[in-house]
Structure formats: C-alpha cells, structure tokens
Amino acid sequence: MMGQDVIIYTTRHNDDRIDIPMREQGMADVMPVSIGNDVWIGGRVIILPGVTIGDGCIIGAGAVVTKDIPPYSVAVGVPAKVVRERK
C-alpha cells in the first residue's frame, strides 16, 4: 500500500568532476529500488536510489529512506531510521 505523493528515485546527478558544472554532468547510472511484499509506505515518503525495503515493512509518512530497511521493520524520520520490528 502506498500513500499519496510518494516519490521513488532511481537515478542521481553526477557530481564527480569539479571541472564541469554539476548541471552539465548529467545523470548517473540507474540504481533500482526494491520494495518487498506487504509493505505500507506513508504519504509524502521519499525513497532514494538503490534502496531495498524488505517484506512487511511500514514506512512512516514523510520519511526519507536513504538506506536499506530490513524486513518487518517500522521506519520513520528524516533520514528514516528503524524504530521497531514487527512480530
């Protein structure tokens, strides 16, 4: 289940070279996002490239997921942190 206004990013801007303005460096390679089964994602959550959200997770509204979330976890905040496990 996914709430309103969720954003899932799968690429990022290149910013490696200092001799070229960042706006001219283009996008990096695609970094897929994986979302498991029976996951609830609250409204206005942002999920960054390359993240895996395990089965049975709950992601609280407004969270920014920057790292993998283990299965059956509840994660909230900016950046999202696991606050408890589901049993």
Which residues participate in catalysis according to the annotation? 13
Do residues 13 and 24 lie in contact, with contact meaning Cβ atoms separated by under 8 Å?
Answer: no
Cis peptide before 79 (omega within 30 of 0): yes
Q: Tokens at residue 14, please?
A: 């290149």
b or e along 50-83 (b: 16 or more beta carbons within 10 Å of the residue's beta carbon)? Answer: bbbbbebbbbbebbebeeebebbbbbbeeebeee
